[in-house]
Amino acid sequence: MAVLVTGGAGYIGSHMVLALLDAGHEDIVVLDDLSTGFDWAVPERVKLVIGDVADQALVAETIRVHRIDALAHFAAKIVVPESVSDPLGYYLANTVKTRSLVEAAVRAGVKHVIFSSTAAVYGEPEVVPVPENLPLKPINPYGRSKLMSEWMIADAAVAHGFSYVILRYFNVAGADPEGRSGQSTPNATHLIKVATQAALGQRERLDVYGTDYPTPDGSCLRDYIQVSDLAEAHRVALDHLRAGGESLTLNCGYGRGYSVLEVIEVVKRVSGREFEVRFCPRRAGDPAQIVAEASLIRDRLGWKPCHDDLDAIVAQALSWEDRLRKRNQV
């Protein structure tokens, strides 16, 4: 049986494909419309189907032809401020299309679903670190669109008898340590990517949105998880489900927070370069601090992160930007 990775030509999805290959899984199919992903990010021995996850006929045919038993769904829009200005676009991409995909998967007999969710479902958490059982109060359309999809998947699983793992990401960063993939979207908003681009002279400056938050230095506090560790969490989730494991909803983070200003200092130190930092007003939809209570994923899935080192994460991001620059010059 095979696994279908939607968004597998993108940042996190491509690392999931690498994690599967590294673990000996060969039956992998990627479905991606290449709107933000890249065909070169998919290894040659992996089948790439170009299309929309909401194309139910295409999804059904792909599942049938490749004997898909598991779905890992990464395809989504992910920029919080953009979700505030374009909520309907986010509900379409993250909620409506997920509903269509899950319906097609159910009809085709898919047994297991792994869903890429987000810590944004917690909103402004009253408890930090954030446990999975905290009340869900998203404060932006991105978080709401993902929470709606969580509800749909859980309800559909009860009705139709499939199992699932929902993984709530905190802030994803870094790149494959072997340099095979990384964050490649030209206008990405991830802090570490933007900061490394500023350090390398690819951006004029770095904007910091808000320095008056109730945090130690006034800037937002986040839990940064290395992308290969996150991909490995998905891989062990797949093994868990295929072994008959129960459905789960789990945080993916390290349980340690760094402020925006702390990250900037690490980027400057690791790169050995200074760059301009401009302080701007807060952006709509940004919580002050959000850090994972991450013990449950270790207990239930036996997940053991290997890359919990901010300096190393920044070094990976810098190295990937150099590789990407050379690729784009070809």
Does residue 33 carry a pLDDT above 90?
yes
* pLDDT mean across residues, the chain: 96
**What is d(CA 143, CA 298) in angstroms, rounded to the nearest whole number?**
24
Q: Tokens in use for 187?
A: 């206008």
Pair 312, 235: CB distance under 8 Å: no
Mean of the pLDDT values across residues 52-56? 98
Mean of the pLDDT values across residues 307-321? 97
Mean of the pLDDT values across residues 263-281? 97
* Set 90, 142, 213, 258: catalytic member: 142
Residue 187: pLDDT band by 50, 70, 90 thresholds?
A: confident
pLDDT of residue 284: 81
**What is d(CA 118, CA 144) in angstroms, rounded to the nearest whole number?**
10
Does residue 274 carry a pLDDT above 90?
yes
pLDDT of residue 189: 85
Q: How far is CA 202 from the centre of its chain?
A: 24
pLDDT of residue 164: 98
**What is d(CA 163, CA 40) in angstroms, rounded to the nearest whole number?**
32
Residue 203: pLDDT band by 50, 70, 90 thresholds?
A: very high
Angle, nearest 10°, between helix axes 11-22 and 227-242? 60
Annotation marks residue 142 as catalytic? yes
* β-sheet bridge partners, residue 224: 171
Mean of the pLDDT values across residues 55-68? 98
Does residue 330 carry a pLDDT above 80?
no
Q: In this predicted model, what pLDDT tens digit does every residue of 126-137 receive, in sequence order? A: 899 999 999 999
Pair 171, 255: CB distance under 8 Å: no
